[in-house]
A and B are shown apart, each in its own frame.
Chain A
Amino acid sequence: MARKDPAELVNGSAEQSGTRGAPSAFLEVRDLKIHFPTDDGLVKSVDGLSFQLERGRTLGIVGESGSGKSVTSLGILGLHNKRNANVSGEIWLDGTELVGASQNDVRRLRGRKMAMIFQDPLSSMHPFYTVGHQIVEAYRVHNDVSKSVARKHAVDMLGRVGIPRPDRRVDDYPHQFSGGMRQRAMIAMALSCDPELLIADEPTTALDVTVQAQILDLIRDLQEEFNSAIIMITHDLGVVAELSDDILVMYAGRCAEYASVDDAFHRPLHPYTWGLLGSMPRLDRERSERLMPIKGTPPSLINVPQGCAFNPRCAYRDLNGDKSTTERPELVEAEPGHQVACHLPLEKKREIWESEIRPKL
């Protein structure tokens, strides 16, 4: 895996990393915090997240609703309103730091260098403008070309994402497209300027299963073509297993486990990841038991539980004495290239996984 030494990331405080300068990775997020002050208190949606991503590779970010996945992606694009969100930390994209950059500089990168595919393509496209117009708009804001050239490009893009007769459909409105077509059009729009970083926020959630597979194939093909870096945000582990190289499991705004897909699926070290795997339906294995949901609900992001945020839902917290309820586990590299934030001793975790969790999957 082409990663920098993760231990350095973990140990470095924000001040230290600030002096460290541009990283070699294409995208590197360091100690990202996104907090929203509200009347009820400070909502810590993302609280110290670090990861990196190279061109041509895919990072899957998984977690329950409200774990901070989407907030992270919007933060990378700089789409949080400075008036109601406090963003700190560093986001380095190809040598440029984005958190401290001016709004206008970040805007120029948006759509061109980094683009996003949103979850619900119907509400994410403007109902009053044609699909073609919206793609042309995305293209022309970053490329000084005539309308007719941009239109040709839009038709090309629509054809590339597999929309039949794109020269006609280009003048249709979003409501005239089917759900799968809309998502394809959305992808065409996001890819219209050949972005080097593509963030897909649950791109297949609103689609039926056959269309889901097509969209995922499409994203993979396009990645090969453009050599883009992709962040795939999802709560669907199946999607992650299929597309990603690395996986980052988020819980309550923090990273619980960060590993290669192989490690995460075959040697996971965090009880929360075990829970996610246990609650995932699988078709490739006979199973006699029901799915095992993770008991409890995601924690409030205003009053995150003391100690390990996952401790109220963790079946193994008593194995640590009261450490899980008093001390927050830091993210450490348990094995090479495999980071986990959990107090359980590594050997104990391996043992639990092999003896208790894996046989039940």
Chain B
Amino acid sequence: MVAFIVRRLLGAVGLLLIISAVTFAIFFLVPRAAGVTSDDIAGRFAGKQPDAATLAAIKDRFGFDDPVPVQYGKFLKAIVVGDTYDTGTEKIHCPAPCLGYSFRTNQSVTDQIVDRAPITFMIAIGAAVLWVIVGVSIGVLSALRRGTIFDRAAMGIALAGVSLPVFFTGLLSLAFVVHRWNLLPEVNYEGLSDNPFNLILPWICLAFLYAALYARLTRAGMLETMNEDYIRTARAKGLPEKTVVFKHGLRATLTPIMTVFGLDIGLLLGGAIITEKTFSIPGLGQLALDGVNQSDLPVVLGATMVAALFIVLANLVVDILYGVVDPRVRHS
């Protein structure tokens, strides 16, 4: 088991290295191939109409004229051990993991990510709790009552849920629940010090989408599992139906759903972009989106790396959990 985890960890590090190289190449190499010079990039940092000396200083500070592999090396080195920038007047130390400084605000990208990650976490975790409970329960009930009114209604709503994007349900709920009917206050969440229940509307909208997906997944999985021979055996042993359904049926059904959950939560932790934009919540997704809109390369790069990290980590956790949950994986 330990060897398995170590192997997976090493694999995860390698995967992150590859992702960083590809991301770096896309954000630094492709613009250059399209004719953007290091002067242009330095110009974005300097602001309006800089003189040649300022540009040169900036280029020197960030090493924009170095060969790309060297720049990539410095980028990686900064993440591992930190970096020190010499502005001429003072030396700024950026501690590891250093992702550089925003071209627009001159803030440390790492600090910005650390500031905003908890907000995205709150959105993702809150919604995940909702959608797992609601989605799996409805899926199980639907499977057990296959073909009934409940099943048809639930699956109809689920189909709608899968088809309706958050920017639609979000705007609709903002317009009616918040503004027309005044049932809930404006969504206002800027950090962990705020009341997390301000996020109730984003949670519901995001969870609606995923709960619909999970209800369908659970229903399909449950229908398949309940036809398995071992379920018949469980019944033949005289186990109460509750034990048959939950201990024998649901247990086997949830294992593949766990994999999907790992991917979904990993993706969301890196930034619930549409939800954050719809409800104007300053999370990681909003940070990345602003970075893209403002051509703020260090921010985009940093946000991408963090999002990739979460997906890789979530997958790692799922792989390890799979070994815990499914003995057939553990022993092979």
Q: Which residues of B contact A108 (CB under 8 A)?
A: 238
Residue among B228, B229, B233, B327 with the most chain A CB within 10 A?
Answer: B233
Does residue A137 face the partner (Cβ distance < 8 Å to B)? yes
Does residue B252 face the partner (Cβ distance < 8 Å to A)? yes
Q: What 0/1 pattern do residues 257 to 284 of B give for CB contact below 8 A with A?
A: 0000000000000000000000000000
How far is B238's CA from A120's CA once the two chains are assembled, in angstroms? Answer: 19
Find out whether the CB atom of A123 lies under 8 angstroms from the CB atom of B327. Answer: no
Find out whether the CB atom of B252 lies under 8 angstroms from the CB atom of A126. Answer: yes
Q: Which residues of B contact A115 (CB under 8 A)?
A: 236-237
Q: Which residues of B contact A79 (CB under 8 A)?
A: 232, 235-236
**Those 3 A-B pairs whose CB atoms lie nearest each other, nearest first:** A111-B238, A110-B238, A123-B229
* Interface residues contributed by chain B, number (CB under 8 Å): 23
How far is B229's CA from A127's CA once the two chains are assembled, in angstroms? Answer: 11
B248 to chain A, nearest CB (A): 6
Does residue B326 face the partner (Cβ distance < 8 Å to A)? yes
How far is B327's CA from A173's CA once the two chains are assembled, in angstroms? Answer: 7
How far is B232's CA from A108's CA once the two chains are assembled, in angstroms? Answer: 15
How far is B236's CA from A124's CA once the two chains are assembled, in angstroms? Answer: 11
Q: Which residues of A contact B232 (CB under 8 A)?
A: 74, 79, 118, 124
What are 14 pairs between A and B in contact, CB < 8 Å? A77-B236, A115-B236, A115-B237, A118-B229, A120-B229, A126-B234, A126-B252, A127-B252, A127-B328, A128-B326, A141-B243, A173-B328, A175-B327, A175-B328
* Contacts A79-B232, A123-B228, A175-B327 given; does A128 touch B237 at CB 8 Å: no
Does residue B197 face the partner (Cβ distance < 8 Å to A)? no
* Contacts A123-B230, A175-B331 given; does A128 touch B325 at CB 8 Å: yes
How far is B248's CA from A123's CA once the two chains are assembled, in angstroms? Answer: 13
Find out whether the CB atom of A126 lies under 8 angstroms from the CB atom of B239. Answer: no
Q: Which residues of B contact A111 (CB under 8 A)?
A: 236-239
* Contacts A79-B232, A118-B229, A118-B232 given; does A141 touch B331 at CB 8 Å: no
How far is B326's CA from A123's CA once the two chains are assembled, in angstroms? Answer: 15
How far is B226's CA from A79's CA once the two chains are assembled, in angstroms? Answer: 13
Does residue B47 face the partner (Cβ distance < 8 Å to A)? no
Does residue A358 face the partner (Cβ distance < 8 Å to B)? no
Q: Quick one: which of B286-332 are within 8 Å of A by CB?
A: 325-328, 331
Q: What 0/1 pattern do residues 64 to 77 of A give for CB contact below 8 A with B?
A: 00000000001001
Find out whether the CB atom of B327 lies under 8 angstroms from the CB atom of A128. Answer: yes
Q: Quick one: which of A125-158 are within 8 Å of B by CB?
A: 125-128, 130, 137-138, 141-142
Does residue B88 face the partner (Cβ distance < 8 Å to A)? no
* Contacts A108-B238, A111-B238, A137-B239 given; does A127 touch B326 at CB 8 Å: yes
Does residue B35 face the partner (Cβ distance < 8 Å to A)? no
Find out whether the CB atom of B238 lies under 8 angstroms from the CB atom of A107. Answer: yes
Find out whether the CB atom of B331 lies under 8 angstroms from the CB atom of A128. Answer: no
Does residue B44 face the partner (Cβ distance < 8 Å to A)? no
Q: Which residues of A contact B229 (CB under 8 A)?
A: 118, 120, 123-124
How far is B251's CA from A77's CA once the two chains are assembled, in angstroms? Answer: 25
Q: What 0/1 pattern do residues 201 to 223 of A give for CB contact below 8 A with B?
A: 00000000000000000000000
Does residue B240 face the partner (Cβ distance < 8 Å to A)? yes
A82 to chain B, nearest CB (A): 12
Find out whether the CB atom of B237 lies under 8 angstroms from the CB atom of A176. Answer: no
Q: Which residues of A contact B (CB under 8 A)?
A: 74, 77, 79, 107-112, 115-116, 118, 120, 123-128, 130, 137-138, 141-142, 173, 175-176, 189
Additional A-B contacts beyond A110-B237, A123-B228, A128-B326 (20; CB < 8 A): A74-B232, A107-B235, A107-B238, A108-B238, A111-B238, A112-B238, A115-B237, A118-B232, A118-B233, A123-B230, A124-B232, A126-B230, A128-B251, A128-B252, A138-B239, A141-B240, A141-B243, A173-B327, A173-B328, A173-B331
* Contacts A128-B325, A128-B326 given; does A110 touch B236 at CB 8 Å: yes
Find out whether the CB atom of A110 lies under 8 angstroms from the CB atom of B230. Answer: no
Residue among A74, A128, A138, A173 with the most chain B CB within 10 A?
Answer: A128
How far is B234's CA from A141's CA once the two chains are assembled, in angstroms? Answer: 11
How far is B230's CA from A120's CA once the two chains are assembled, in angstroms? Answer: 10
Query: Which chain B residue has the least Cβ–Cβ distance from A135?
Result: B237
How far is B239's CA from A109's CA once the two chains are assembled, in angstroms? Answer: 10
Q: Quick one: which of B212-260 are within 8 Å of A by CB?
A: 228-230, 232-241, 243, 248, 251-252, 255
Query: Which chain A residue has the least Cβ–Cβ distance from B251?
Result: A128
How far is B236's CA from A74's CA once the two chains are assembled, in angstroms? Answer: 9
Query: Which chain A residue has the least Cβ–Cβ distance from B330?
Result: A173
B150 to chain A, nearest CB (A): 14
Q: Which residues of B contact A126 (CB under 8 A)?
A: 230, 233-234, 248, 252
A339 to chain B, nearest CB (A): 29
Find out whether the CB atom of A116 lies under 8 angstroms from the CB atom of B236. Answer: yes
Q: Which residues of A contact B243 (CB under 8 A)?
A: 141
* Contacts A175-B327, A175-B328 given; does A127 touch B230 at CB 8 Å: yes
How far is B234's CA from A126's CA once the two chains are assembled, in angstroms? Answer: 8
How far is B308's CA from A300's CA once the two chains are assembled, in angstroms? Answer: 57
Q: Which residues of B contact A138 (CB under 8 A)?
A: 237-239
How far is B331's CA from A130's CA once the two chains are assembled, in angstroms? Answer: 13
B254 to chain A, nearest CB (A): 10
Find out whether the CB atom of B230 lies under 8 angstroms from the CB atom of A189. Answer: no
How far is B229's CA from A118's CA once the two chains are assembled, in angstroms? Answer: 9
How far is B44's CA from A138's CA once the two chains are assembled, in angstroms? Answer: 72
A54 to chain B, nearest CB (A): 23
* Contacts A173-B331, A175-B328, A176-B331 given; does A125 touch B233 at CB 8 Å: yes
Query: Which chain B residue has the least Cβ–Cβ distance from A193?
Result: B238
How far is B301's CA from A203's CA once the two chains are assembled, in angstroms? Answer: 62
Q: Which residues of A contact B325 (CB under 8 A)?
A: 128
Query: Which chain A residue has the least Cβ–Cβ distance from B240?
Result: A107
Find out whether the CB atom of B331 lies under 8 angstroms from the CB atom of A142. Answer: no
How far is B222's CA from A307's CA once the two chains are assembled, in angstroms? Answer: 43
How far is B255's CA from A116's CA once the two chains are assembled, in angstroms? Answer: 28
How far is B233's CA from A111's CA once the two chains are assembled, in angstroms? Answer: 10
Q: Which residues of B contact A120 (CB under 8 A)?
A: 229
* Contacts A120-B229, A124-B232 given; does A141 touch B327 at CB 8 Å: no
